[in-house]
Structure 1
Amino acid sequence: MSDANGSTTSTREWPEEPSFDLYFQRMLNQQLEGVKREMNERISNLEQNLRVEHVEHLKGTEQRLQTVIRDSFSLRSPITPPVQQTPPPPPPPKSGPDEEDYKAQIKELQRQLEAKTFECDDLKAKSDKNLQMLQRELEQEQRKTLDAQATVAALRIMAPHGTPDVVLDSEICEKFRQVRWWTQRVVATLYTADKIGRIGVDESKKFFDELGKTKQKLWKHRIWAELYVQLQALFYTNWLQFGLGEKYQQLHLDLSTAEKGLYEALNKGYPGGFCRKEIVQWRHATLRCADLLSGTHDSPTRYYMTIRQYFEPVRTADKKDLEKGDARLKKLCDEWYALMMLMRRAHDSFNFFMPKTDMPVVGYEQSVEEIITEGSASEKGEKMIKGCLFGGLVKRSHDNPGERITLEKAHVVVATKAPKKDVKEKNGLHDSFCELEDTRR
């Protein structure tokens, strides 16, 4: 935009405004253009008139001087010059608008231009303020919408359905196999079988005392088996606390006490495991309430630290393996936690089992899988279970809790033993396997 002095002021690029503001802006620009054209025309006319008047004034002054000189000379001279007809004096110049009036008009136009510019800036400032206010209101409405959607989703979880959310057996089995695989990776990377270092915690003293009396080539097997025992003891016996977060310690303690009391009461009235259906219903009800209350879940970090301290004496000294092994141990704890949450939310009951040691393998091929053989594989004799590297997984159906279904076999260490005549007759699967029952839930 150019003002009366010819200076140029830059105009700001504004974002698109509502249609009314755009129309008003265009109208204002048109008025400003008209005022500018009118002002330029008036200034041009004023300059032209001033030039014409100045020229005519100069011409009239010259003629008047000639007349005065001529008259003076005639009075002094005795000879009377012939009378000459003098031309009529030039007509007075046309009276044009006064210069002061033009200056006053120019100042008035400048004042109007400044007033219009001020109004335009004020209007743009108000438009920006209104736009920012609308943006804040829009953000608030969006947040309210997201909160409402989260609440609706939570209420849908609590609302009764014809069938509860189904956790498939295949999901639990797949997660179980992942946990088992990560356990093996941790043992292979993080722990060494070269020597036993300083024992850091009292809980592991007994284990490492017995490990020191074992052949060194069997240390890895014993560490593997002990790692499984410690992991299932930490996660399986504490899973009542999972899902509520540290913020609700007293609440999950009350729920745990109530669930244990419910189990004991139902077990007395209906012995033999027939109260599992009611326990599952209670579990689903408490979980739906807990999902609304929990902001963050318990972190498996504390279990990672417990395992790390327990097996500190056999941690490898290799920095690369140590870093990789710690990362795998953290991943293992996360997978265990996820497995426990799946088992807790399942409609049916899932349990771990461990075969007893010094039991024959024959007859239990559907429940155990030989992973390691101690001694020579060519030795003749009866294969006996010497240890459990990783327990198995069984399922008890919600509709038929008395039926026991093996989903994953237990991984065991087997040794060949010469047959004896006084070997006791096998009394069935339940006498040879220790299953962790729902009393731990």
Structure 2
Amino acid sequence: MTSMTDRKNAAISRGVSMTTQIYADRAENAEIWDRDGNRYIDFAAGIAVVNTGHRHPKVIQAVRAQLDRFTHTCHQVVPYENYVALAERLNALVPGDFDKKTIFATTGAEAVENAVKIARHYTGRPGIVSFAGGFHGRTFMGMALTGKVQPYKAGFGPMMPDVWHLPFPNPLHGVSKEDALKALQQLFKADLEPARVAAIIVEPVQGEGGFYEVPPGFMAELRALCDHHGMLLIADEVQTGFARTGKLFAMEHHGVAADLVTMAKGLGGGLPISAVTGRAEVMDSPDPGGLGGTYAGNPLGVAAAHAVLDVIEDEGLCDRATRLGQRLKQRLAAARDRIPQIADIRGPGFMNAVEFTLPGSDSPNPDFTNRVREEALRRGLILLTCGVYGNVVRFLAPLTIPDAVFEEALDILDESLLAARG
């Protein structure tokens, strides 16, 4: 009998990677069962998508109710009220004491693409400044903005023009906030006239790049630079958004409002929907028809998003994210004496990571990192790695994970670290 792996290899492009060979049969909150009945604790959450857990009852109820009414009309042809209502909610929730407007799309990359389009149209400028290690999607503009070649850019030909990368402030790897700002000033002196820059795009916490948070004061410096040169600040909150960092949006930790905010992942609770919210005058710059898409703001995704926002508020998930993250980081800190490979434990709220290096060295240790992931998977815990060097384990369990399941996962993590150490 042909295995699922053989069927997958025969049918699907190898360009679609798979972290595990688990084929899901059903899922509930923070647990997944495969086709053979094996149970796993999910510390990936579909890469920060099901922050409210797999199949949250309120999300399922909202989607079912919408299914009984209609599934698609294309808002640009026959609009619907819940699209408008969700835009109103995001306009009120996204940081910034100014009038805002919103558009919906389907994926995070699509949200980023639209934010760049809007920024270029509003400013009349072509240049976009991004950061090394950042991830903004797999479309051509997303690839160009992304600051990591393997596997995202390699072999795909010329990138989109007028995208410029800066070092991300990362003291652990020898780049201070001052170093990053100095590099920006050097870029403006040597290569790029500030008057040609439409926007600076930044993740408040880098996702694929390794879960590095921007240092205190950096966002304020970027905000001041953008204001001085007439540039826009774009906050990519695709992975950081919707309670993951202990705030609804990570920008709230920095007391700075971006001109445009991109969202996806956790917004739909498992259904595809993304959004761009920004200053009303900026969002209104493109002409009618310049923005949108056939599936943009699909009614089922919109219904799910309303339920997700309700769950986050009703169940206090921002506070719960902080508590879960504190507990996880405590357990990792307690393991540090036994695991010399642990170089850093970090992350706001429940957007946490542990970075591994060779013992007594600053050299990345991707082999040990992968052993931890594999040992955890053998014990029924799904983990994800990330980082430019592949030496970081990131933790993205649903914020609704039951306490008993969370403690079970932490015990498995302890066992996996010890087993990987040998």
TM-score normalised per structure 1: 0.21
More strand by share: 2
Higher relative contact order, chain-length normalized (CA < 8 Å, sep 6+): 2
The two structures have a TM-score, normalised by structure 2, of 0.22
Structure having the larger proportion of residues in helix = 1
Of structures 1 and 2, the larger Rg is shown by: 1
